[in-house]
């Protein structure tokens, strides 16, 4: 039987692609599509919103419906909405996949609280390639060691509202793990003015916003005489959407109990 999927943030860039790819997947069935109250998409058919040229007979609603036989919720919204949707998932007893980034500490706490009641998979990036990059960057950092300076540069389209990206932070966290550092103690977000000599353990994180860039991330490891660069470039949001739907199927098909899960677990990387 297909898994009944609820997609929140239906009219967003990711929401539209999730709807389109869900409609193509025989293992999934779009059961509901949700947008914020008062949004222009509310009341319209999800197929129309996603630009499919056909209707899916799923109207966009303002709330996740109760008692709808949902199998999983997939959330790509804004940080405050994501935390609320996690709480709704917990109340309904439905697993949730969250791709929303930029959550505050309190919102992360609320998501973690929801994970005590239902399975929650929250990832900064659902690309298979990016998650391999996380694992590779951690290994490279551990192997190269303390002597190499680490800098991360990310680029996204000019409509992205949070910076640095969740993926850049995930990459920085992976590198910090490899170096046995606490990211909060060593992260520097851009530089300006007379900042002084670079501390050896610093991890620099820099954000570019321009045009229609889908997502580019590079981690630099440099020492006198050589530089190692690890780069991932995304040319289509479909890579993230397919990964999120893969995660949703994994969360449901493997009958996971309450808890926090990762994309690395989905891919067998940990």
What is the per-residue pLDDT across 44-74, written as a single tens digit (0 to 9) for each?
999 999 999 999 999 999 999 987 789 999 9
pLDDT for 66:
87
Domains for the chain: give ranges and CATH numbers.
Answer: 3-122+237-266 (3.40.50.720), 128-234 (3.30.360.10)
Q: Active-site residue 160, yes or no? A: yes
pLDDT for 6:
98
Candidate list 44, 108, 135, 160, residue with the active-site label: 160
Q: Active-site residue 232, yes or no? A: no
The structure's pTM equals 0.84
Residue 254 pLDDT level (bands cut at 50, 70, 90): very high
Candidate list 85, 122, 156, 232, residue with the active-site label: 156
Residue 96 pLDDT level (bands cut at 50, 70, 90): very high
Average pLDDT, the chain: 96
The three state secondary structure string of the chain is CCEEEEEECCCCHHHHHHHHHHHHCCCEEEEEEECCCCCCCCCCEHHHHCCCCCCCCCEEECCCCCCCCCCEEEECCCHHHHHHHHHHHHHHCCCEEECCCCCCHHHHHHHHHHCCCCEEEECCCCCHHHHHHHHHHHHHHHHHCCCCEEEEEEEECCCCCCCCCHHHHHHHHHHHHHCCCCHHHHEEECCCCCCCCCCCCCEEEEEEECCCCCEEEEEEEEECCEEEEEEEEECCCHHHHHHHHHHHHHHHHCCCCCEEECHHHHCCCC
Residue 124 pLDDT level (bands cut at 50, 70, 90): confident
């Amino acid at each position: 039987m297909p898994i009944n999927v609820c997609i929140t943030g239906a009219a967003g860039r990711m929401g539209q692609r999730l709807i389109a790819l869900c409609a193509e997947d025989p293992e999934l069935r779009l059961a509901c599509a949700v947008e914020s109250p008062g949004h222009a998409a509310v009341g319209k058919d999800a197929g129309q919103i996603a630009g499919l040229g056909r209707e899916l007979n799923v109207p966009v609603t303002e709330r996740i419906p109760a008692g709808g036989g949902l199998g999983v919720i997939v959330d790509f919204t804004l940080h405050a909405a994501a935390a609320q949707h996690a709480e709704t998932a917990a109340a309904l007893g439905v697993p949730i996949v969250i791709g929303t980034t930029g959550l505050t500490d309190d919102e992360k706490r609320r998501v973690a609280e929801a994970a005590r009641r239902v399975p929650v998979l929250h990832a900064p990036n659902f690309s298979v390639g990016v998650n391999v990059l996380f694992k590779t960057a951690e290994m490279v950092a551990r192997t190269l060691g303390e002597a190499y300076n680490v800098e991360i540069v990310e680029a996204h389209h000019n409509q992205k509202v949070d910076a640095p990206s969740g993926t850049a932070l995930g990459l920085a966290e992976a590198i910090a793990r490899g170096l046995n550092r606490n990211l909060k103690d060593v992260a520097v977000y851009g530089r300006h003015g007379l900042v002084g000599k670079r501390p050896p353990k610093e991890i620099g994180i820099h954000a570019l916003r321009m045009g229609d860039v889908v997502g580019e991330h590079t981690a630099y490891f440099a020492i006198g005489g050589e530089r190692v660069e690890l780069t991932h470039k995304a040319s289509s949001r479909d890579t993230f959407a397919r990964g999120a739907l893969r995660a949703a199927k994994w969360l449901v098909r493997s009958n996971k109990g309450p808890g926090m899960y990762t994309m690395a677990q989905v891919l067998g990387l940990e």
